[in-house]
Amino acid sequence: MKEAIRQAKKAWKIEEVPIGCVIVYQGKIIGRGYNRRTTDKNPLAHAEISAIKKASKVMGDWRLEECTLYVTLEPCQMCSGAIVQARIPRVVVGCMNPKAGCAGSILNLLQVEAFNHQAELTTGILEEECSQMMKSFFKELRKKQKMKKKEQESANMPEENP
């Protein structure tokens, strides 16, 4: 999870929501990813998708059946679906996502019995660190947006005549 947090910090550095992911096979990291959705102007550029692509390339297969995925924030529906499709058997989550999480918060797509694959799920690993990173990022973002709004308002104010 520490490496997933390092990946999330890379996202933060480029002003992306700080989500990081790593995929481990036999004790070695074979895929890393961090959120790049805004940077790449691509709704698919989530940390998990990037890590799955890289791990699949390393493994030479789309099936990641002996891997563990570590992610700082509970996966969304797209990423949960990709995890199921990649046949990843174990998922470790830092903090939950009550607004968009699909590994237990809103839905649990990782463990739907009707699907041909379910993943073992562990949550709350380095939860405080992962959660605090998200809170700090959004606090900083709101502050920047507020400053930008004030700058725009002052630039649009008519000048007074002396």
pLDDT 10s digits, 128-156: 999 999 999 999 999 988 888 887 877 77
Query: Is residue 160 situated within a structural domain?
Result: no
Query: Is residue 159 situated within a structural domain?
Result: no
Q: Percent of the chain at pLDDT above 70?
A: 96
Rounded Cα distance, 110 and 75, in Å: 9
* pLDDT confidence bin for 158, thresholds 50/70/90: low
CATH of the domain at 103: 3.40.140.10
Q: Number of folded domains in the chain?
A: 1
* pLDDT confidence bin for 52, thresholds 50/70/90: very high
Domain of residue 23: give its range. 2-152
From the list 48, 66, 128, 160, the catalytic residue is 48
Query: Is residue 118 situated within a structural domain?
Result: yes
C-alpha radius of gyration, the chain, whole number:
19
Query: Is residue 158 situated within a structural domain?
Result: no
Q: Are 129 and 94 within 8 A, CB to CB?
A: yes
Query: Is residue 23 situated within a structural domain?
Result: yes
pLDDT 10s digits, 34-48: 999 999 999 999 999
Q: What is the mean pLDDT of residues 13-31?
A: 98
Query: Is residue 44 situated within a structural domain?
Result: yes
Rounded Cα distance, 6 and 66, in Å: 23
Query: Is residue 157 situated within a structural domain?
Result: no
Give catalytic status of residue 3 as yes or no.
Answer: no
